[in-house]
Amino acid sequence: MCRFFLFLGVVTMISFGGLFGGWGAYAADIPSVDALTLESQLSGQNPPLVLDVREPMETSFGTIQGATLIPLSSLESRLSELPKDRLIAVYCRSGNRSLRAASILKGNGFTLIENLSGGMNAWTSKCASSKTFC
C-alpha cells in the first residue's frame, strides 16, 4: 500500500512538471500582478497586452476591456500572434490556468510576462470600486 502512494506521488510530480521540468519548472519565476496594479498599468504610457486564456463561453461572465482571447487549449498553436517585446498580462477565472499559460509563454522565449493574481475573480472584485477598465 505504501508503494502505491509513493508511485502516485511520483506520477503526480511528473505530470505537473515538478520533477523533470514542464510548465511547473517556470511557474515559480512568473511575476504576479494584482488587479489594481494592472489597472494602473493599463492607463499608463506602455500598457501591457492583456491575454485572456479562458474558453470563449466563459467571456459571458465578463472580460477585461481590450483583452485578447486565446484559450489555454490553443495557446501553443497561436504563439505567433503574441509580441515578445511587450509585457503580457495573462488572466483566467482564478489565476491557475493563466499561470500555466504564462509558463508556456516563458518556455517559448517570452520574457515580459505577468500573471493576474486571482484572475477574473479579483478583477471583478476591483470593479466594484472602480469602473475604469471594467
Annotated active-site positions, please? 92
CA distance 113 to 89: 6
Cα(29)–Cα(43) distance, integer angstroms: 26
Distance (Å, whole) CA 117 – CA 87? 16
Q: Is 89 helix (H, G, I), strand (E, B) or coil?
A: strand
